[in-house]
Structures are given as structure tokens and as C-alpha cells.
Amino acid sequence: VILENESPLTLSITLKSIEEKLDGLSFMRVHHSYLVNMDKVSQYVKSDGGYLIMSDNSMIPISRSKKSELKTFLESDYK
């Protein structure tokens, strides 16, 4: 887990468990290995398979199976 302005944490629970606890907040599972805070997304890049650029300039890949869900989320008025 990477937190803003904190050292990364290692947790012994599944990403699915974290995802369930954050349900209803602005978090989205965009890849098997990534759950992101959509409020921290700076840019969505559609080329090269698709990825997100986060506010800390990290790049998060988007799985093919999540692209449609992500597009719907981004087009909604989620903020």
C-alpha cells in the first residue's frame, strides 16, 4: 500500500478485502494488482495498453477487463 507522504506499507490482507472496505469511496480496482484512489489520478493515457498517471507521477497499468468500467467511471460525475 502506498500512502501519500508516507512510507509504503506491507499488509497481510488481500486487495479484495481492502477493496470491499473502501466500497462507496472514490477507489477503483483498475488491475489485478492495483486499487487506486481516483481523486489522485492526474491523467488517463489510452496508448500503450492504457495506464493512469497518478499525482505522484507513478504509472498504473489498466487491465483490458477494467477499461470499460474505468471509462464509465471517468465519464460519470464522480467528484
Kindly report, residue by residue over 4-46, the tens digit of the pLDDT. 888 889 999 999 999 999 988 999 999 999 999 999 999 999 9
Which pairs count as long-range contacts for 35-44, CB under 8 Å and 24+ apart, including other chains? 36/60, 38/73, 38/78, 39/79, 40/4, 44/70, 44/74
pLDDT at 59: 96
The arithmetic mean of pLDDT across residues 66-72, rounded, is: 91
Q: What values do phi and psi take at 29, rounded to 5? A: -85, 110
Type of residue found at 28: M
Please say if the pLDDT value at position 48 is more than 80: yes
The arithmetic mean of pLDDT across residues 64-79, rounded, is: 84
pTM (2 decimals)? Answer: 0.84
